[in-house]
Structure 1
Amino acid sequence: MDIRIQALHFEATVQLKEFIHKKLEKLNRFADDIQGAEVILKVTKPEVSNNKEASIKLKVSGPDFYVEKIGNSFEEAIDLCIDVLKRKLEKHKEA
């Protein structure tokens, strides 16, 4: 799977990038036709809780899946996105 990570207005740590790769690779269990993913990370309104925004565009055969979530940390936001993508992939597989 081709994974591109873009961090807006900050530098993403290696740890965070590895976390994202690990989570996205697990989605391969739910669908065989995942071609790639684009992840965009940004901080909205600094100094406020729930200010880390993550959006994931998952490229599959057919229409792409797009999810955007906000959390207290990027890891939390990514986890929320992955949960939604799992459900979407399961529905896509059934269709």
Structure 2
Amino acid sequence: MQITIHSVRFDADQKLLDFTTKKIEKLLQFDDELISSDVFLRIENASDKLNKLVEVKVNTGFSELFASKKCESFEEAVDLVQEILVRQVKKNKHKKRLV
């Protein structure tokens, strides 16, 4: 699966990029036919405590899955988005079998 990570309004360090890539690659355990994913890491309102936004769009070939989460840290947001996407991937894989 091709993973593209976009950091908006800041430069992400390599540790964050590696962490994000590792978490998104784990989706392949549930469906090995995933084509690509676009990950957007954003810092929104700097004065707000929950200002780290992570949005992920996954192209399955069958449909597009999307999840976003806003948290205090990017790592926490990536973890939560991954959990959401795992559920969506499982549901999507089940739908593909029925078609």
* TM bracket, shorter-chain basis: over 0.9
What residue in structure 1 maps to residue 15 of structure 2? 15
Matched position secondary structure for 2:32:
coil
Q: Distance in 2 between matches of 1:50 and 1:30?
A: 30
TM alignment of 1:54-93, pairs within 5 A = 54-93=54-93
Equivalent position SS for 1:80: helix
TM-score after normalising by structure 1: 0.95
1:63-94: CA deviations, max 9, x gaps? 11011110110111111110000000111111
The 2-side partners of 1:77 and 1:9 are apart by 17
**Any gaps of 5 or more consecutive residues in structure 1?**
none
Q: What secondary structure, in the 3-state scheme, does the structure 2 residue paired with 1:31 have?
A: coil
Partner of 2:94: 94
The amino acid that maps onto 1:35 is I
**Deviation, structure 1 residue 29:** 0.6
CA RMSD of aligned residues (A): 0.8
**2:44 matched residue in structure 1:** 44
Query: 1:88 corresponds to which letter in structure 2?
Result: Q
Q: Deviation of residue 49 (structure 1)?
A: 1.1
Paired AA for residue 60 in structure 2:
V
Corresponding letter in the other structure for 1:27: L
**Max radius of gyration: which structure?**
2
TM-score, scaled to structure 2: 0.92
